[in-house]
Amino acid sequence: MPATAAAPAVPADARPAPAPAAQGRRGRRTIAAVFLAPTVIGLGVFLLAPILASIALSFLRWDVLTAPQFVGLANFADIVADPTVGRAFLNTIVFVAVAVVLQLAIALGLALLVQTRMPGWLRTVFRSVFFFPLILSAASISLVMSYLFNEEFGTVNAVLGAVGLPDVPWLTSGPGAAVVVLLVYLWQNFGFSFLLFLGGLAGIPKEVTEATSIDGASAWNRFRLVTLPLLSPTMLVASVMAMIAALQIFDQPYVLTRGGPGDSTRTAVMVIYESAFQQLQFGRASAIGIVLTLLIVAVTAVQFRLSRRYVHYQ
């Protein structure tokens, strides 16, 4: 049989050009990559790389001055046996339990108050006043508060003395220092939850609340049976963010009390700072940071798990 003739080669310049649709997709991918690159690089350099470095450091003993030494889980065993670390985590957990509840309660109460009938300019003033502390530096606020609550020349004790009450050792006693740290933290941070609740209340249909009023429901029943269930998605977001922020408290106790008196106001983040930058035990500090991170993840997971029961979406 005669051999089949090979098909003639097609010159490169005679080949069909790519379809316009394919060129468009390729161009869109290139543009998307260009715009996403800064964010991806930033997350990799400033988030992913430090996380991986912290995990690696937790298995090492390193003081910057000498070569790192692999110690396995010794850093974790050390922090478990250290009573200072245990007390710091206990202080943090107790603080979170009290601060988050008070922060959400105060923010929700003020949001309900602002949503009542009042002139628009007055509502704007309240919003600005309640949110203003959040934009200030926590360190500067704590420094000012340390003078206000000073036992010898503080304004708070001066006012108490003017009304015949004895001076209170605010920053030199364990309970007094804990109360001051709590008050300063709440004053600065409730404004964010306040704005979240304002947005959530504004999203509740007025027809629903008006219908319950016509049906004769009391103010408490309207809040408990209508407002609170419809506000539950906002409550979830506010509680999660408040919990994460409170677990990382550092500025207020560090500036006000340096963790004292004793260890009464020392927190987990303060122990991380002291281990790393005062004692130069970076492996130990990384191990404490990992434990705190796992605690934050666990608490957040529990909140989302429980949200299946009490969060109602419209």
For residue 32, being part of any structural domain is answered with no
Q: Could you give phi then psi for residue 69, rounded to 5 degrees?
A: -125, 130
Going by pLDDT thresholds of 50, 70 and 90, the confidence category of residue 81 is: very high
For residue 61, being part of any structural domain is answered with no
For residue 170, being part of any structural domain is answered with yes
For residue 56, being part of any structural domain is answered with no
Q: What is the pLDDT of residue 15?
A: 54
- The owner of tokens 């070569």 is 67
Those residues whose C-beta lies under 8 Å from the C-beta of residue 30, and which sit 6 or more positions away, are: none
End-to-end, the C-alpha distance of the chain in Å comes to 78
**What distances in angstroms separate CA 264 from CA 82, 92, 93, 167, 177, one per listed residue?**
16, 10, 13, 20, 8
Q: What is the pLDDT of residue 9?
A: 53
Q: What is the pLDDT of residue 130?
A: 87
Going by pLDDT thresholds of 50, 70 and 90, the confidence category of residue 309 is: confident
> What range defines the domain where residue 98 resides?
83-310
- The owner of tokens 């106790």 is 253
pLDDT in tens, 194-205: 999 998 888 888
What tokens does 161 get?
A: 């003395």
Q: Which of 49-58, 83-92, 119-128, 188-197 has the lowest mean pLDDT?
A: 119-128
For residue 17, being part of any structural domain is answered with no
Choose between 212 and 240: higher pLDDT: 240
Q: How far is CA 284 from the centre of its chain?
A: 23
What tokens does 71 get?
A: 């110690």
Q: What is the pLDDT of residue 1?
A: 44
Residue 104, CA atoms < 13 Å, CB-side half-sphere: 20
- The owner of tokens 């046996």 is 81
pLDDT in tens, 5-48: 455 555 555 555 555 666 677 778 888 889 999 999 999 999 89
* CATH code: domain of residue 217: 1.10.3720.10
Q: What is the pLDDT of residue 20?
A: 63
